[in-house]
């Protein structure tokens, strides 16, 4: 089942371009118009108020995307959360908790208490570890979680993770992320592609963030913006750069110097929505990776996985493993010896017109 999911994701994103991938895409193609019709009718019902979006007593900023797979929502959510913290604005993070036990239920917690990724999922566990004292609501019923959160504290702002398609909750601001390295997948709607909605739905977005621009030329980004111009005002498009903020040892949390990696034989592994983005980030920072292993997005690491990874260290494949923070929250600290596995911590920032970007965020919160 795991291999089927990973293969399907690679076909939908366009990463897999073999004859078999093409054949599979055409097998799934007849279902995409059906999916398109469902999305169009649903959006029409909301636009005509037949289906009602509910407003809460607080400001809601949605951080979403128009494709499946990773576009960088977690680091962008963290960027916004840190901005809110710096201004002492009481806020909480809402999430569906995709592929976690909390998804079908409701979990409200404060990050000052320990929480397991087995309960809330890897992305929320990671955010909670980086945002001490912040409240979180995880589960499908966002309005229920908002009510519970506001009973606990006077929360004025809600960051709605992956909220672009969750139209039951009325948003004050919709931010949509597009990965510069793979903005539209193979160009098809689900299930033949990984587009959740037609590109025309981008017109609903208040802001578009093009993420991972560090791996692309100005000409490539200009070409992407030219496509987006058909759907949104270019003044609403901003570029976001991803950078390695630090590396640290998984076992000890001790810092690992970036310049030391040129002397190491490195291998990378990850289970994220866009594994290519991790490899590209390492390459941009001058890190040569001799081998890489890709697991499914949200992969839960088993002992067999750890044995496989440790074997790479003992058979000469590498002398240092590199992984992401999203993966690290699911790995046991004693799973690897000291100095054998380093975690890559990233940060994101708006690269141009950032004063305008933050001004827009401040403006909507002041309304």
Q: Does residue 237 sit in the same domain as residue 132?
A: yes
pTM confidence score: 0.94
Q: Per residue in 344-356, pLDDT tens? A: 999 999 999 999 9
Q: Per residue in 332-345, pLDDT tens? A: 999 999 999 999 99
Question: 93: domain range?
Answer: 59-242+349-366
Residue 319 lies in a domain: yes
The three-class DSSP label of residue 227 is helix
Q: Does residue 253 sit in the same domain as residue 193?
A: no
Residue 27 lies in a domain: no
Of residues 86, 257, 89, 249, the one with CA closest to residue 157: 89
pLDDT of amino acid 26: 87
Residue 52 lies in a domain: no
Q: Does residue 140 sit in the same domain as residue 271?
A: no
Average pLDDT over residues 267-285: 94
**Is the per-residue pLDDT at 82 higher than 90?**
yes
pLDDT class for 25, splitting at 50, 70, 90? confident
Kindly report the CATH number assigned to the domain that includes residue 287: 3.40.50
Count up the domains in the chain and report the number.
2
Q: Does residue 198 sit in the same domain as residue 103?
A: yes
Residue 149 vs residue 113, higher pLDDT: 149
Q: Is 351 exposed, middle or buried (0-12, 13-18, 19+ CB in 10 A)?
A: middle
Q: Does residue 88 sit in the same domain as residue 223?
A: yes
Please give the C-alpha separations between residue 265 and each of 63, 277, 291, in angstroms, as whole numbers.
Answer: 37, 20, 9
Rounded percentage of the chain residues whose pLDDT exceeds 90: 83
Residue 302 lies in a domain: yes
Q: Does residue 90 sit in the same domain as residue 214?
A: yes
Q: Does residue 95 sit in the same domain as residue 236?
A: yes
Residue 134 lies in a domain: yes
Kindly report the CATH number assigned to the domain that includes residue 223: 3.40.50.300
Taking a C-beta distance cutoff of 8 angstroms, is the pair 164, 73 a contact? Answer: no
Phi, psi values for residue 72, rounded to 5°: 100, 25
**Is the per-residue pLDDT at 75 higher than 60?**
yes
């Amino acid at each position: 089942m795991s291999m089927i999911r990973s293969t399907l994701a690679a076909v939908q994103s366009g990463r897999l371009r073999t004859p078999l991938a093409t054949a599979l895409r055409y097998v799934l193609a007849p279902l995409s118009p059906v999916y398109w019709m469902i999305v169009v009718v649903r959006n029409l019902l909301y636009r005509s108020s037949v289906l009602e979006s509910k407003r809460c007593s607080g400001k809601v900023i949605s951080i979403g995307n128009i494709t499946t797979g990773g576009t960088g929502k977690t680091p962008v959510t963290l960027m916004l959360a840190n901005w809110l913290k710096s201004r002492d604005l009481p806020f909480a993070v809402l999430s569906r908790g995709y592929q976690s036990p909390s998804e079908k239920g409701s979990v409200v917690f404060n990050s000052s208490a320990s929480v397991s990724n087995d309960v809330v999922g890897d992305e929320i566990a990671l955010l909670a570890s980086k945002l001490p004292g912040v409240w979180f609501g995880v589960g499908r019923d966002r309005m229920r979680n908002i009510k519970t959160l506001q009973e606990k504290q006077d929360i004025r702002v809600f960051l709605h993770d992956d909220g672009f398609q969750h139209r039951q909750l009325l948003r004050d601001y919709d931010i949509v992320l597009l990965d510069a390295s793979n903005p539209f997948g193979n160009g098809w709607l689900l299930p033949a592609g990984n587009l959740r909605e037609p590109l025309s739905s981008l017109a609903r977005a208040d802001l578009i963030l093009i993420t991972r621009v560090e791996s692309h030329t100005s000409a490539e980004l200009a070409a992407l913006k030219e496509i987006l111009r058909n759907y949104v005002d270019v003044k609403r498009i901003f570029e976001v750069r991803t950078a390695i903020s630090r590396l640290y040892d998984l076992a000890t949390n001790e810092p690992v110097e970036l310049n030391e990696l040129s002397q190491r034989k490195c291998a990378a592994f990850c289970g994220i929505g866009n594994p290519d983005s991790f490899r590209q980030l390492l390459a941009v920072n001058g890190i040569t990776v001799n081998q890489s292993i890709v697991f499914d997005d949200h992969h839960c690491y088993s002992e067999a996985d750890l044995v496989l990874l440790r074997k790479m260290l003992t058979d000469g494949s590498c002398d240092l493993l590199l992984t992401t923070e999203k993966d690290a929250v699911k790995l046991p600290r004693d799973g690897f010896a000291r100095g054998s596995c380093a975690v890559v911590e990233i940060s994101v920032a708006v690269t141009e017109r950032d004063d305008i970007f933050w001004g827009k965020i401040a403006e909507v919160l002041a309304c």
